[in-house]
Every structure is written in C-alpha cells, then in structure tokens.
Amino acid sequence: MRALVTGGAGFIGSHLCERLLEIGYDVVCVDNFLTGSPGNIAHLVENRRFELIGCDLIRGVEVEGPVDAVLHFASPASPADYLRHPLATLRVGAEGTRHALELAAAKGARLVLASTSESYGDPQVHPQPESYWGNVNPVGPRSCYDESKRYAEALTAAYRRSRGTDAGIVRIFNTFGPRMRPGDGRVVPTLIRQALEGSPMTVTGDGSQSRSLCYIDDLVDGVLRMLKASIGGPVNLGNPHEVTMLELAQWIRRLTGSRSEIVLVPLPTDDPQRRRPDIALAAAELGWQPRTPVEDGLLRTIAWFVERVEDAGLPTMVPAPASPSDRAESAVAER
C-alpha cells in the first residue's frame, strides 16, 4: 500500500507519515514548506519507503506509480500563519483540494480531507454535531481559513456525489503534541513557551472562552480509521474534554513549575467563545474516541519543548512531574 500525504512536513502531517510507515505503507510526502518544517521529517528521509516531493500543491503534483490513499493536510492551520498567508490559504483549500481529488480519482485512491472545527465558526450550538451548519463570518480576518475549508468540504462532497470518488471528510478540533512550532500562535505551544521562558503567559479576553484539546496520537488514530472506512462524513475528531483558556494557562504553569504571571490581552476578532465536538458519529462509525488524558499529553508536549530548548543551549525551567495532589487538583479542570 502506498499513501500520499499533502502537508506531510507539518505538525499533524509528519505524525501521519510516521504512523503510516510504522503500519507498513510506503509514504509520499508533499510539502512546499510554507509552514511545514524539514526537521519534522528529518528522521524519516533515510527510510527507503519514504519519498519527499517538494512542490506547491496549488500548482498540482505528479506522482508516478500506484497510490492507494491520499491524505490532504496541506494548509496553514494556525491563526498566525493563515493571517500572514491569506491568499495561499484560500488557494490551497480550493485549487490544492481539486488537485488532490483529481489525483485520488485518477489513481482510484481513498482520499481523506482534513477539515476543521473552524467550519463551525463561533458556534451557537454546543457541543457541535456534524449536522450543525455553523456561524461563520465570511469576510472577517479568519475567513480565509474558515471558508477555504468549507469550500474544500463542498468540493470533496461534489466529487463523491458526481464522480464517485472515494473521499471522506474529518473535522479536526484543537490538537496538540510534539512538533508544534513554539511561535506558531496556537494556544498550547504559546503558553508552554512562555511558561518555560518565565515570561508573562498571555490569555486572550477574560479567559472564559473554551477549547477541547486532543493529543496528536489520538487524532492520528482517528484519521487512519477514517482512511479505512468508506463513509463520506464529515466526522468530528476531537476530545470532548473542554477547558477554559484561563484554566489551561494555570494548568500549564503548574505542570512546568513556572512562576510566570498570567496576563489578559485583547480578544482577536471573531475568536470563537466555545468549542467542543460531539463525537457520537466517530464512536459509532469508526469505533474511535480519544484515549490519552489531556494532562499526560501536556506533560509529553512540555518534555518535548524542554528537550528542544536544551538542545539549543538556552536556559529553561525543567518541568517537575505532577504529584498525586496536583493530579487530584487537575481533575477539577478535566471535568
């Protein structure tokens, strides 16, 4: 079996490439390194079953030989990235998705589109089921990402209906873990970096807005289950464990042993107030649910960040293992 992963040098894409190799696939990684990192796949390049194609999916991609699976994960995904590259974000959602679908159709491959919980916008239904159509500002600063993914979903559904392309859609909620860039603007790496540096930990708004955090290993498992399925979706993949941003900052500060001050900063335009997936469909159709406790995932992610900083020879605070009393305290946040 041979799989092609677009955006394969990104955070999620690189973990997908790694897991696919582990379960026996030959892997073709496609990336233009706009936001992906060569370091994410450096440990894979010597593997004879791994191939890297450096190209911009907006202009298309040519692959010789058979392809059994296409996992379309190419897109800037953090607010800092897609606000910096709005046109590229829109184009990879539109033209890039079309090229990925054409390749899957030509090769007779199963395609899985990585969509996003951002397709729900600032939801008025909570938690969010796949049947909810969303509340998106189509002309706001975040719309380049929201609407690119909504269009990609529409295009994928149209290929499935009109051409019989074997394609499925997953809507990915907040995911975290090793290989996130410290400065990519997403909340978990930002708070970890600030805590380890001892600098102020910034929380937007009044900190009451919530997110649901899923560890990368669980997310990858859900994507691979979708790959093996035949359903079109969309299917939510995320952890129903909901936490406010103020609680998350306090949690990370405790796990790192940091003494950083938590400070409030202005809320970004169109920032969603609440976000939590309804994963009943994933459980029923894929037999999937997240298994990694959020605290365990945070500790693994913090350890990875500490190792990266130490490799660079920079001073950092070393996280202490959580004590039983700390874990009992964190159970409040987990509820």
CATH architecture of structural domain 2-177+213-237 = 3-Layer(aba) Sandwich (3.40)
Residue type at 302 in one-letter notation: I
Which residue is associated with the tokens 């370091």? 39
Per-residue pLDDT of the chain (335 residues; tens, 9 = 90+): 999 999 999 999 999 999 999 999 999 999 999 999 999 999 999 999 999 999 999 999 999 999 999 999 999 999 899 999 999 999 999 999 999 999 999 999 999 999 999 999 999 999 999 999 999 999 999 999 999 999 999 999 999 999 999 999 999 999 999 999 988 889 999 999 999 999 999 999 999 999 999 999 999 999 999 999 999 999 999 999 999 999 999 999 999 999 999 999 998 888 889 999 999 999 999 999 999 999 999 999 999 999 986 655 445 554 444 443 344 333 333 33
DSSP code at position 93: I
How far is residue 243 from each of residues 26, 219, 295, measured CA to CA in Å?
38, 18, 12
Buried b (16+ CB within 10 A) or exposed e, 276-287: bbbbebbeebbe
- Nearest one of 316, 100, 104, 305 to 199, comparing CA atoms: 316
CATH architecture of structural domain 187-210+241-271+292-334 = Alpha-Beta Complex (3.90)
DSSP strand pairing (175-176 vs 69-72):
unpaired
Helix (H) or strand (E) holding 225: helix 216-228
Domain ranges in the chain are 2-177+213-237, 187-210+241-271+292-334
Q: Which residues are catalytic?
A: 145
Please answer whether residues 225 and 335 qualify as being in contact, where contact means their C-beta atoms are separated by less than 8 angstroms. Answer: no
DSSP code at position 18: H
